[in-house]
Structure 1
């Protein structure tokens, strides 16, 4: 029975792409840490293929130009966030916390940095609203 999920519908091509990426040293494009090929598939530090343009937004699951290596926990944290948003959160995380020692630490720091950025934006919006009410 054919699958409607493009990752499974193109299983052989996706599997070949994953094997090709696993055969070479890889770094996670989000946290920048090396990915060890020794972790089992469902481990948080395992290699996963992350689509730059998510499949839900029209990206290809088997196009090598659309796929980058990521840790499972980093990939799950990203979800379908745009690349520019992930990069801005990573930059804010680096400036707020410095370096991280593990992918899990990066995810923890990134969540915190993203919340801080959201609070800062809300504060700026409140300040704009209060200023606009004065005139």
Structure 2
């Protein structure tokens, strides 16, 4: 039985490459505090996490750089496995 592919070197390399880009969260557009690392990153909702444009449960490729996106841990969790992010509602014009 194979181990968790997220613990392998190719996945960790992809995470490192995505983190090095320093991009804002692709879901909310706010900056990601990339200085949050180590054990505290697993609990901090604003920490960097690797998200996938096409969720893995919907057939997305875990190791495809074209499918990788930078996101806040909280934004990634709220998005779940939906294919698109929720668009902000437009305000009414009076």
The TM-score range, normalised by the shorter chain, is: 0.7 to 0.9
* Whole-angstrom CA distance in 2 between matches of 1:35 and 1:62: 22
**Highest RCO, 1 vs 2 (Cα 8 Å, sep ≥ 6):** 2
1:16 aligned partner? 13
Q: Is the 8 A contact 1:30 1:90 kept in 2?
A: no
2:56 aligned partner? 55
Unaligned runs of 5+ in 2: none
Is 1:77–2:83 an aligned residue pair? no
- Cα root mean square deviation, aligned: 1.6
| Runs of 4+ with deviation above 3 angstroms | none
> What TM-score, normalized by structure 1, do the two folds share?
0.58
Asked which structure has the greater CA Rg, the reply is 1
| Equivalent of 2:33 in 36, 45, 51 | 36
* Whole-angstrom CA distance in 1 between matches of 2:27 and 2:53: 11
Judged with a 3 Å threshold, the aligned counterparts in structure 2 of structure 1 residues 35 and 29 are, in CA distance, closer, same or farther, namely: same
Report how many residues are paired: 87
Unaligned runs of 5+ in 1: 97-135
* Whole-angstrom CA distance in 2 between matches of 1:61 and 1:14: 8
